[in-house]
Each structure stands twice: as C-alpha cells, then as structure tokens.
Structure 1
Amino acid sequence: MLTAAIDTEPRVTDTATGIRIEADLPVELTETEHAAVLAALATADRFGHSLTRTTEFVWAEISSEVTMTTTESPDAAYRALLGHTTTCGACRAGAICDDATKLVRAWRDTRG
C-alpha cells in the first residue's frame, strides 16, 4: 500500500515481535498521497513518522501475535483487502475509498 501511495519501495525488517516497514517520504506530498499514506499506516498495529537531518520517513509495525476475536480468519480478511485495493481504481490512484476503509476495519477486527 505504501508503494502504491508514494511510488517508493519500503524497507521491510523482521523483528522479534513481527515486522517493521519503513518508507522514505518525498519532499512534497499531494493531498491524495498524504491520504493514501495515512490509510496504509492505519492497517498497522503501531505506526509513526520520523524526521532526521537527511530524510523523512514513515514506519509501521505489524505484530506476529494475533488474538482471534471473530470466526473470520485474518488471512481471509487481508486477502479481501488486497483483492480490493489491487483492482479498485480509487485505491490504485491513492484516493480515499470507503470500501477499503471498511475492509481495513474488518481485517483489524479479525486480528484482535
């Protein structure tokens, strides 16, 4: 989702508790890119923004510890989200998509 939002390849690192994703931000973000970055970050368990002297980047952490609270599998919910975002014109353009927002919430609900 970050790649689609800002056309950059994020760095992915395995951690003891899950994965960490970092993506450098361009100097200027359009309103559409900004909304898409925020939507992507909202799918993570923890996320943030860092600014150093040389770069500005966002980060997201996704925990490997999942507590099931519903009968739907997190994998099925995530596949539904990915299926939507890869075919939806609004999502691919980085625009805010109500359907994607609902799918993100459903996926997060299955993760506990």
Structure 2
Amino acid sequence: MLTAAIGTQPRVTETAADIRIEADLPAELTETEHTAVLAALATADHFGHTLTRTAEFVWAEISREATVTTTDSPDAAYRDLVAHTTTCGDCRAGAVCPTAANLVRTWRETRG
C-alpha cells in the first residue's frame, strides 16, 4: 500500500513477532498521496512518523498474531477499504471516519 501511495519501495524487517515496514517520504505529498499513506498506516497494528535532520519516514508494524473471525477474503476486504478511502470526503480530508475504521478492522480480521 505504501509503494502504491508514494511510489518508492519500503524497507521490510521481519521478526518472529511482527513485520516492520518503513517508507521514506518525498519532500512534498499531494493530498491524494497523503490520504493513501494514512490509509496504509491505518491497516497496521502500530504505526508512526519519524523526522530527523537527515530523514523523514513513516513506519508500520503488523503483528504475526492475526485473529480471523470472518470468511471474507483479505483481498476483497482490502479492496473495500481502498475503494472507500479514495472516495470518502472525510478520509480524503484526514478526518476520523467510522466507516473506514470498520473496514480496517474487517481487513485485519481477514488476513491470516
């Protein structure tokens, strides 16, 4: 999702407990790119933004312990999330959107 949002390949570090993804941010983000980055980060279990004198990047951590509670496929749930966040006015403005939160929760539950 981060690659699609900003066009760069993120760094991925895997441990027994989780997967950590870091992506360098360009100097400027369009509104669409910003919204896509936020949507990508919202799918992680933990996420953040790091700014130093020499670098700026976002990071996301995804736990390997997933709880599957639905029979929907992760791909379908992800497509639903992306379709919503790219068309929802609240999501595009960076506002809290209960629908997006529910779609993120569904996607998390379906990935295994």
Answer whether TM exceeds 0.5 for this pair: yes
CA-to-partner distance for each residue in 1:18-59, whole Å, 9 max, x for gaps? Answer: 100000000111111111100000000000000111110000
Alignment partners' CA distance in 1, 2:12 and 2:40: 14
Structure 2 unaligned regions, length at least 5: none
The two structures, once aligned, show a CA RMSD in angstroms of 2.8
Report the Cα offset of residue 80 of structure 1. 1.2
Normalising by structure 1, report the TM-score: 0.72
Aligned residues: 100
The alpha-carbon deviation at position 66 of structure 1 amounts to 2.0
The equivalent of 2:13 in structure 1 is 13
Cα displacement (A) at 1:65: 1.2
Q: Distance in 1 between matches of 2:42 and 2:79?
A: 18
How far is the alpha carbon of 1:104 from its aligned partner?
A: 2.7
Runs of 4+ in structure 1 deviating by more than 6 angstroms, as ranges, are none
- In 1, Cα distance between the equivalents of 2:81 and 2:67? 25
* Deviation at residue 109 of structure 1 after TM alignment: 4.2
Q: CA deviation at 1:67?
A: 3.0
| TM-score, normalisation: structure 2 | 0.72
